[in-house]
Amino acid sequence: MSADNNDHSPESHDVDHLGHEAHNHGSFRSYMIGFVLSVILTAIPFALVMTGALPPQATALIVMAFAVVQIVVHMIYFLHMNSKSEGGWTMLALIFTIIVVVIALSGSLWVMYHLNTNMMPATHEMSQMSS
Amino acid sequence: MSATATEIDPNVFHLEEEPHHEEGSSTMLGFWLYLMSDCLIFAMLFAVFGVLGGNYAAGPGPKELFDLELVAVNTAMLLFSSITYGFAMLAMDRNNQRQTLIWLAITGLFGLAFLGIELYEFAHLIHEGATPQRSAFLSAFFTLVGTHGLHVTFGIIWLVTLMVQVSWKGLIPANKRRLMCLSMFWHFLDVIWIGVFTFVYLLGMVR
């Protein structure tokens, strides 16, 4: 690869007095770490599901855990998230977004799951009536 | 009000001169906020899929429809495009315009490969009669995955636009800023794809 001769020094990543980072794009090393981790974290869930080595319940839990870890890896190594960029405002926006997303997702699934189960007897009766 | 208003108005408390901000100094934060709002759109679509994902309306389910090997190849395409965009950013840091353009082109090709495979999958599904109208599961599936694909499409258009701009004007600060925004957009789409292949494809197969 032609990109391995990067030699930018940490001095070029100075933070000015307003807290704006000059340019933090990571290094070749950090991108490769992120990439290798992502490949591993992608390959294992696919392998688990494709081979069916574990019972479905365990597979589902492991796959979801790997997804969460991989999202964090992407955030750190590809999106260069840290608590200091833009004076901490990107992190604050991210935390707020995560809170809203968690509320929306868990709320929707929880409410609609109970709605579904409570509606079940009606559809069940209907299917019994028709049969 | 009074003649002294031109001198010092006691009712005005702001600074006489606004603090000087460098041009584009707030662009990155603004773009990050846009990405967060985009994240909310995807969260809603994921919620829809989570709620409706099991309603097959006696039609085909994930096990009959999805080809995991194809999805794995697709995931690899997007992951490769992420790392090649990273290399483009590193080349940009070194002010190497030619390498930046080459890596951007490779990124674009991986993006196109991803889109091509996804369109092939969609065409295959529709050909089999698994159209968005078939069931709530398929409506939610096409909306979620299609929205992601649409984002990738616009990302590629943006990428080509920036390649033209960089080749015309070089790696000027404005172009660097634009490349950094697209970098965030591109990696963000990869993050969304992690959610898609996990919750739609992999969990669909074990459901």
Instruction: Give me the interface pTM, i.e. the ipTM.
Output: 0.85
Single-letter residue type at B77: M
CATH classification at residue B177:
1.20.120.80
- What is the 8-class DSSP label of residue A12? G
Counting the structural domains of chain B, the total is 1
Would B46 be classed as within a structural domain?
no
Would B96 be classed as within a structural domain?
yes
B-chain residues within 8 Å CB-CB of A17? Answer: none
Of A85-89, B3-7, B39-43, least confident by mean pLDDT is B3-7
By C-alpha distance, the chain B residue nearest A74 is B191
Would B65 be classed as within a structural domain?
yes
A-chain residues within 8 Å CB-CB of B83? Answer: 31-32, 34-35
Contact B97, B179 (CB under 8 A): no
pLDDT score of A123: 53
Please, which residues have CB within 8 angstroms of residue B91's CB and are 6 or more apart in sequence? A3, B99, B100, B102, B103
Nearest Cβ partner for B191 among A27, A63, A71: A71
- Per residue in B53-69, pLDDT (tens digit) is 888 988 899 999 999 99
pLDDT score of B14: 73
pLDDT at residue B22 tops 70: yes
Pick the closest to residue A113 from B47, B132, B196 (CA basis).
B47
For B172, list phi and psi in degrees, rounded to 5.
-75, 160
C-alpha span between A12 and A77 (Å, rounded)? 18
Nearest Cβ partner for A67 among B51, B103, B195: B195
Confidence category of residue A85, pLDDT binned at 50, 70, 90: confident
Please, which residues have CB within 8 angstroms of residue A110's CB and are 6 or more apart in sequence? none
pLDDT at residue B105 tops 50: yes
Note the residue count of chain A: 131
By C-alpha distance, the chain B residue nearest A94 is B36
pLDDT at residue B86 tops 90: yes
Domain housing B83? 61-206
CA B59 vs CA A33, A119, B66: distances in Å: 43, 21, 14
Residue found under tokens 């790696």: B171
pLDDT score of A110: 93
